[in-house]
Amino acid sequence: MSLLTLSRWQFAITVIFHMTFPAITVGISILLCVLYGMHWRTGKPVYLQMFRFWRRIFAVGFAIGVVAGIVITFEFGLDWGVFAAKTGPIMGPILGMEVVTAFFVEAGFIGILLYGDGRVRKGTMFAATVMVALGTLLSSTWIIANNSWMQTPSGFTVRNGRFEPTNWLHVIFSPSFLWSWYHMLAAVLLSSGFFVAGIGAWYLVKGRSTPFARRSVSIGLGIAAIVLPLQLFLGDHLAAHVLPAQLPKLEALEGYWSGTGSGGNTGYILFAIPDQQARDNIAQLSIPCLGSAIQKDLTCNSGVPGLDLTPAQDMPLMAPVFWGFRVMFYGALLMFGTVFYATIQRFRRKLWASRRFHQWLVWMTPVGILTILGGWVTAETGRQPWVVYGYLRTSQAVSHLARAELVFSVTGFILIYAAMLAAYIAYIVHTMRTGPERDHPGFRPGPPGPAEPGVSRPVSAGARVPDAVPAALAGGEASA
């Protein structure tokens, strides 16, 4: 591999690994605010139980995400030193604002969120939870502002080879910023909603912690039902603000090579295996006239351009753009169908009796995360070969390093990130198996020592087991 390819792979692996965690934690941080606020307002123990359970999953994911995000910043200077030098007057202050506004807020209140339960007043606890959620939103805001400027640069001048700001409002609020930010916020709410609903459905399948499980599924699917229609609107408008300025990205995600194509490229390609060197698809499956219909033309006359219309030196790789978009789009269709079916089942009062649907929800747990990763792959690989679109090529932005150093570094990153991701998944599985029973305010652990199969440990002497605690904890059935 070339130095450029190795540098791109290292950065891509780091970003994909990092984005896995905000896809969960940003939405869960907002969920924690809702749960603790409901507990404070109603006094119901189940909301505090949910708050404690989801806080554990949030805390570990938040810590790993912060560490991976710091690595990205170092890679700007190490792998992409030329890029950092040329865009420093713009990128530096934006990243600095993330530190000042987001990291300081999170660092100031994360301790209260994690350890203040039962030690500080409920109002203080709720305020700390809100501030941590605000910090995650601010962090994502500055990152989106940074990336949006790279996608649709504005408010600058190039002086002595460096990008220098002339209007900070135009730099931050670049043409694609607002639509990108809303689109990303909706995406993390969807991914965390399905994540919460999927884990809640697992407990329904297992017949454990029913009050906790039902509320988790209800909240997760409720968020998705509200956000999904809005997300379709936001995605369409984001494409309208980015794709006209980046026609090669549009050509690549549609999957056509020739400028006109059979039938004027009016079909929609469901599946394709692109061959970049031959400028053709090895295999493809398409639906005739659907592409024209998507463009609101039912006469089958509106086609899409092929990637051959773009000069070879300006072409992105079609395969990652095409399949990144398909992962995002197909994932959105799966989520939409799931929410639609769940809504029907709820109106028919059969939502909690449908075991097969609960099993389906468990399989849907990571779909929202995958759609976010697919969207980022589409946005970033479709922008190539530009790192600042139309002004700075990626090949001109890479640091001049020894290739052997990057081979060692990329290999090490893959191994470390795979181990960290596996550890986080193992932690989530362990937390699920342990269950939310211990998080109930009325839970009292039994005495140490092994219990016989099928027999629960008794609660401590004099302890009262609330009605909301599952019968398994009261000794009626086998506990987890």
150 within 8 A of 387, measured Cβ to Cβ: yes
pLDDT tens by residue, 135-166? 999 999 999 999 999 999 999 999 998 999 99
Dmax over CA atoms of the chain, in Å, equals: 80
Strand ranges (E), 246-369? 268-275, 280-287
Which phi and psi (to 5°) does residue 23 adopt? -60, -25
Confidence of residue 446 (pLDDT cuts 50, 70, 90): low
Residue 278's Cβ-count burial label (10 Å; 0-12, 13-18, 19+) is exposed
Give the torsion through C-alpha atoms of 242, 243, 246, 249, to 10 deg: 120
Mean pLDDT of 42-70: 91
Mean pLDDT of 448-460: 40
Beta-bridged to residue 163, according to DSSP, are 158
Which structure tokens are listed for 415? Answer: 């191994």
Q: What span, in angstroms and rounded, lies between the C-alpha atoms of 325 and 378? A: 6
Whether 117 shows a pLDDT value over 60: the answer reads yes
Among the ranges given (118-122, 195-199, 260-264), the one the predictor scored with the smallest mean pLDDT: 260-264
Closest C-alpha to 47, from 62, 31, 58: 31
Whether 454 shows a pLDDT value over 50: the answer reads no
43 within 8 A of 32, measured Cβ to Cβ: no
Mean pLDDT of 7-17: 90
Model pLDDT, residue 479: 33
pLDDT tens by residue, 221-231? 999 999 999 99
Whether 464 shows a pLDDT value over 90: the answer reads no
Whether 443 shows a pLDDT value over 50: the answer reads yes
Mean pLDDT of 270-278: 89
Could you tell me the CA-to-CA distances from 128 to 27, 47, 74 in Å, in that order?
16, 17, 30
358 within 8 A of 201, measured Cβ to Cβ: yes
Model pLDDT, residue 445: 61
Report which listed range, 98-112, 161-175, 438-452, 454-468, is most confident.
Answer: 161-175
Whether 279 shows a pLDDT value over 60: the answer reads yes
Closest C-alpha to 380, from 192, 189, 242: 242
Residues 382, 286, 325: CA angle, nearest 5 degrees: 25
Closest C-alpha to 33, from 217, 197, 203, 219: 219
Residues 60, 132, 144: CA angle, nearest 5 degrees: 90
472 within 8 A of 480, measured Cβ to Cβ: yes
Model pLDDT, residue 196: 95
Model pLDDT, residue 70: 85
pLDDT tens by residue, 304-358? 888 888 898 999 999 999 999 999 999 999 999 999 999 999 999 999 988 999 9
Mean pLDDT of 36-41: 93
Closest C-alpha to 281, from 271, 293, 291: 271
The DSSP letter of residue 456 is: P
Q: What span, in angstroms and rounded, lies between the C-alpha atoms of 480 and 478? A: 7
Residues 433, 435, 440: CA angle, nearest 5 degrees: 170
Closest C-alpha to 139, from 87, 99, 180: 99
Model pLDDT, residue 462: 35
Mean pLDDT of 285-313: 82
Instruction: State which amino acid sits at residue 177.
Output: F
Model pLDDT, residue 264: 67
Give the torsion through C-alpha atoms of 398, 403, 404, 406, to 10 deg: 30
Model pLDDT, residue 470: 37
Residue with tokens 């468990």: 362
Instruction: State which amino acid sits at residue 192.
Output: S
Whether 463 shows a pLDDT value over 80: the answer reads no
Mean pLDDT of the chain: 86
